[in-house]
Structure 1
Amino acid sequence: MARCPAALPTDHTPCVGPAAVTVLDADNAGADGCELHAARLLAALDRGHVLAPTHASAGAAHRVFKAAAPQDVRLHRLADALVSSPATPS
């Protein structure tokens, strides 16, 4: 059985369903994947993000994002984004 494009070469686990989201790297190169492999790929990327196509089940991108990083890492990224956000012009 073929695995989704988001499955890392070192990850031999089977897919947990059809391709549900697209994982994009910092250069916007992407791979479609099941929720399991998409979460693992997202966790391996620096500055990656996840998008849900219109046919995705409700909450798929959110579940992948939550599974990709431990809670403390997500909070640090949120804090960094808030601190480093550009100032609004006066």
Structure 2
Amino acid sequence: MDRCPAALPTDHTPCAGPAAVTVLDADNAGADGCEHHAARLLAALDRGHVFALPDAPAGAAHRVFKAATPQDVRLHRLADALVPLPATPS
């Protein structure tokens, strides 16, 4: 099963439902995602925003915002979050 565009390459967890929100970075680049992955992406962004998609369940953007806890690494652009990290040698 495909994962939503908001799922970070390092996050191997499954989606928690259909895409419900759009996460935007400070430059307004965005990715639609399920509430689970959108919260993780929003937490990784510096000055990110979240907006509910038109057919989202009531309160989806609010739940994502509340679930997004800051991470150790803060990214300024969505592109920085979605570029896969190079593989480390075993």
Fold shared per TM-score above 0.5: yes
Q: Offset of 1:41 from its aligned partner?
A: 0.1
TM-score (norm 1): 0.76
CA distance in 2, matches of 1:7, 1:20: 13
Moved over 6 A (4+): none
Q: Which residue matches 1:27?
A: 27
Identity fraction in percent:
87
CA distance in 2, matches of 1:22, 1:54: 10
CA distance in 2, matches of 1:7, 1:39: 10
Query: Which runs of 5 or more structure 1 residues have no equivalent in the other structure?
Result: 71-90
Q: Which residue matches 1:18?
A: 18
Equivalent position SS for 1:15: coil
Query: Which runs of 5 or more structure 2 residues have no equivalent in the other structure?
Result: 71-90
Q: Which residue matches 2:81?
A: none
Q: Which residue matches 1:53?
A: 53
Equivalent position SS for 1:63: helix
| Number of equivalent positions | 70
Larger Rg: 1
CA distance in 1, matches of 2:20, 2:53: 8
Q: Which residue matches 1:68?
A: 68
Amino acid at match of 2:42: L
TM-score (norm 2): 0.76
